Chain A
Amino acid sequence: NAGVTQTPKFRVLKTGQSMTLLCAQDMNHEYMYWYRQDPGMGLRLIHYSVGEGTTAKGEVPDGYNVSRLKKQNFLLGLESAAPSQTSVYFCASRRPNGETQYFGPGTRLLVL
């Protein structure tokens, strides 16, 4: 099993450009999460999903949109990137009745 994978690994955007980050998991997990990590801070939850076709806002959702069209995939979109969105983005998943989250390797995003 690959676990949780994220693409791309690294991306540079110009202010105002859009992009989509892809998270995929092959563990049949129901719950999926998108976090951002900034220097000196822990992970902050952007959006999450409790199942296919569902999404919900986390702690810092502004400027991001998400979709969960398939159970195994969770997409994070930036419609108009801003320098404040420069960060490392992590995806995680969790199985029903499980208590721990499984993390992907991260996507490093630089917005100029």
Chain B
Amino acid sequence: SQQGEEDPQALSIQEGENATMNCSYKTSINNLQWYRQNSGRGLVHLILIRSNEREKHSGRLRVTLDTSKKSSSLLITASRAADTASYFCATDAGSDYKLSFGAGTTVTVRA
């Protein structure tokens, strides 16, 4: 079964605005990762946050993790048309470094 669930399913914003999406999961994790998928392409890793971290930044990306609530959020600041994609959270919760993916949030950035 899927560990992570993203919210919202879809998001449409104007260029320059911020985009926020959330991920909830069910079990204890080692880390949580966010991936981006452009239409018709494979997934690309964006950022990883470990279970003992609360916040992490990478360029225009900000990720938070609340292990007590079993939730994470991804914030994309000053969005661009090129940020149009689907975003997936993935949790690493066990051995063999298997990842469990959520259904994703589809982000559309309007020019």
Kindly list chain A residues whose C-beta atoms are within 8 Å of the C-beta of B97: 31, 94, 99
Q: Are B92 and A42 in contact (CB under 8 A)?
A: no
For chain A, which range describes its interface: under 10, 10 to 19, 20 to 34, or 35 or more residues? 20 to 34
User: Which single residue of chain A is at the shortest CB-CB distance from B3?
Assistant: A42
Kindly list chain B residues whose C-beta atoms are within 8 Å of the C-beta of A59: 1
> How many interface residues does B have (CB within 8 Å)?
25
A112 interface hit (Cβ, 8 Å): no
Residue in A40, A48, A105 whose CB lies within 8 Å of B98 = A48
Q: Are A50 and B45 in contact (CB under 8 A)?
A: no
CB distance from A10 to the nearest CB of B (A): 11
B75 interface hit (Cβ, 8 Å): no
Interface set, chain A 5-44, CB cutoff 8 A to B: 31, 33, 35, 40-44
User: Which single residue of chain A is at the shortest CB-CB distance from B103?
Assistant: A42
Task: Decide: A90 near B43, CB < 8 A? Known: A31-B96, A42-B102, A48-B98.
Answer: yes
Query: Once the chains are docked, how many angstroms separate the CA of A31 from the CA of B99?
Result: 12
CB distance from B27 to the nearest CB of A (A): 14
User: Which single residue of chain A is at the shortest CB-CB distance from B2?
Assistant: A42
**B81-111 vs A: 1/0 string, CB under 8 Å?**
0000000101010001111111110000000
Residue in B48, B96, B102 whose CB lies within 8 Å of A50 = B96
CB distance from B96 to the nearest CB of A (A): 6
Residue in B4, B33, B104 whose CB lies within 8 Å of A100 = B33
Residue in B2, B88, B98 whose CB lies within 8 Å of A58 = B98
**B1-24 vs A: 1/0 string, CB under 8 Å?**
110100000000000000000000
Q: Which A residues form the contact surface with B (CB < 8 A)? A: 4, 31, 33, 35, 40-45, 48, 50, 56, 58-59, 90, 92, 94, 99-106
* Sample of 13 A–B contacts (CB below 8 Å): A33-B99, A35-B101, A42-B101, A42-B102, A43-B99, A43-B101, A56-B96, A58-B98, A101-B99, A103-B44, A105-B41, A105-B42, A106-B41
Q: Which B residues form the contact surface with A (CB < 8 A)? A: 1-2, 4, 31, 33, 35, 40-45, 48, 88, 90, 92, 96-104
